[in-house]
Homo-oligomer: A and B are copies of this chain.
Amino acid sequence: MARSQTTKKPTRIQREKTRSILEAALDVFSDFGFRGTTIDMIAKRAGVSKPNILYYFDSKEAIHKALLAELLETWLAPLQEIDESGDPIEEICKYVAQKLKMAQNYPRESKLFAYEVLQGAPHILPELEGDLKTLVATKAEAIAHWVAAGKIAKIDPHHLFFSIWATTQHYADFDIQVRAVLPDGKDPFATAGPFLDRMYRALLSPDPDS
């Protein structure tokens, strides 16, 4: 019986090994997707044997699920932080900047998520329809209040979030294309930051006639 199926608390060695397997798996899954990844690839990258992987995790899918579960926690954190009592435009631009930073520093997580959603979110659809939908609804309401108070332009809060997710994660998920198209020597993230900041300030600035 594998450790992962028992309830005994893991030793330090076990925790470290579990971590290094997850770390290696994130590397490979984010590059090749679930189906394109073999346990052997993960084993090689983690520096352990294939059966040893299956001692710590019941199956390839179990590794994948563990990664997605971890991911969701951290992925939604910045959204939580949007504060209705703060300055509207600054709050949203801060969120955009945080999301772009995450795309830069955690591209593997972004791509793992992209693969999952592209496939129809087989493992996390319940979370999307549950926690995520609820959280977005809450924050969308805050934004609707800002709109109603005339503090920002009259925009659809849901599509605002979609556009923020799309534009920031694009630099992680479509990294290859971005680098292929950008002129040589132009850093994607350094130049994307000011562009996006400007875009959302323009979008959100309240109309004079409102």
A55 close to B (CB within 8 Å): no
A31 touches B119 (CB 8 A): yes
A176 close to B (CB within 8 Å): yes
Contacts of A133 in B (CB 8 A): 180-181
B162 touches A128 (CB 8 A): no
A155 close to B (CB within 8 Å): yes
A128 touches B159 (CB 8 A): no
Contacts of A115 in B (CB 8 A): 33, 118
B118 touches A114 (CB 8 A): yes
A163 close to B (CB within 8 Å): yes
Contacts of A162 in B (CB 8 A): 167, 170-171, 174, 178, 192
* Complex: A122 Cα to B90 Cα, angstroms: 40
Interface hits, A153-194 → B, CB 8 Å:
153, 155-156, 158-163, 165-167, 169-171, 173-174, 176-178, 180-183, 186, 191-192, 194
Q: Which of B32, B137, B159, B205 meets A202, CB within 8 Å? A: B205
B120 touches A176 (CB 8 A): yes
Q: Which of B117, B161, B192 meets A159, CB within 8 Å? A: B192
A89 → chain B closest CB, angstroms:
12
Contacts of A199 in B (CB 8 A): 155, 163, 199, 203
Chain A 37-63, CB-CB to B under 8 Å as 1, else 0, gives 000000000000000000000000000
In the A-B complex, the 8 residue pairs with the closest CB atoms: A166-B170, A35-B35, A159-B195, A128-B180, A35-B36, A166-B166, A202-B202, A129-B180
